[in-house]
């Protein structure tokens, strides 16, 4: 299984979610969340399709890449800037670099916040990403689903009912 940007994102959110996703366990409303995010992206940046192309490297799909300026765009519907989003875009930059595109940068757009975060790939990121990949492989091929993390983010997670089925509320 190729490591994807979704794996990188989930690795920074919750290892249990990473394992569940990678092992094909899906919850219904995930698709709604994805659709909402896509819609926000399309409505907020209708001109994007003219400037950006979709590319795929080793199974890692970059939806919006501006080849002329070497800029990756990523739109998040979230109402907060999250480390996982930055990590995901760093992974795109890492993959581009692996395939000979040096010096690409990224922009994470947050339409709800009217904010954008600039992302660069530093040397220390490259080393960290290699470690993420090793760690992620260990998790997704592991026989044991990692434990529930009991975090406030669980309430917004599509696996909430699955994870807390034996508990009243969290």
What is the contact mask toward ligand SF4 in residues 20 to 49, using x (rule: CB under 6 A)? Answer: x-----------------------------
User: What are the angstrom distances between the C-alpha of 74 and each of 33, 78, 145?
Assistant: 16, 12, 29
- Strand 60-66 to strand 71-75: parallel, antiparallel, or no bridges (unpaired)? antiparallel
**Binder of ligand SF4 out of 52, 91, 92, 159 (CB under 6 A):** 159
Closest-CA residue to 111 (of 73, 55, 84): 73
Binding of residue 157 to ligand SF4 (CB under 6 A): yes
CB atoms within 10 A of CB 10: 23
Piece of 28-36, 66-74, 112-120, 151-159 that binds ligand SF4 (CB under 6 A): 151-159
Q: Quick one: which segment of 11-19, 35-43, 109-117, 133-141 binds ligand SF4 (CB under 6 A)? A: 11-19
Binding flag, residue 153, ligand SF4 (CB under 6 A): yes
Matching residue, tokens 């990949």: 133
Distance CA 28, CA 43 (A): 24
DSSP H or E run through 53: strand 53-57
In angstroms, give the least distance from the CB of 90 to ligand SF4. 21
Q: Which two tokens stand for residue 134?
A: 């090793």
Question: Which listed residue (5, 7, 16, 125) binds ligand SF4 by CB under 6 A?
Answer: 16
Could you list the residues that contact ligand SF4 (CB under 6 A)? 14, 16-17, 20, 148-149, 153-154, 157, 159-160, 163
């Amino acid at each position: 299984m190729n490591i994807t940007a979704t794996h990188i994102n989930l690795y920074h959110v919750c290892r249990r979610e990473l394992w569940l996703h990678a092992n094909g366990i899906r919850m219904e409303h995930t698709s709604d969340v994805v659709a909402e995010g896509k819609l926000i992206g399309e409505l907020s940046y209708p001109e994007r399709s003219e400037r950006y192309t979709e590319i795929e490297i080793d199974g890692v799909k970059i939806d919006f890449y501006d080849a002329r300026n070497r800029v990756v765009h990523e739109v998040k519907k979230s109402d907060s800037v999250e480390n996982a989003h930055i990590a995901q875009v760093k992974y795109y930059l890492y993959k581009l670099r692996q395939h000979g595109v040096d010096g690409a940068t990224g922009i994470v757009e947050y339409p709800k916040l009217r904010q954008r975060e600039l992302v660069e790939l530093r040397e220390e990121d490259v080393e960290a990403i290699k470690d993420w990949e090793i760690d992620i492989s260990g998790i997704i091929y592991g026989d044991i689903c990692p434990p529930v993390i009991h975090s406030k983010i669980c309430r917004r997670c599509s696996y909430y009912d699955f994870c807390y089925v034996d508990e009243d509320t969290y």
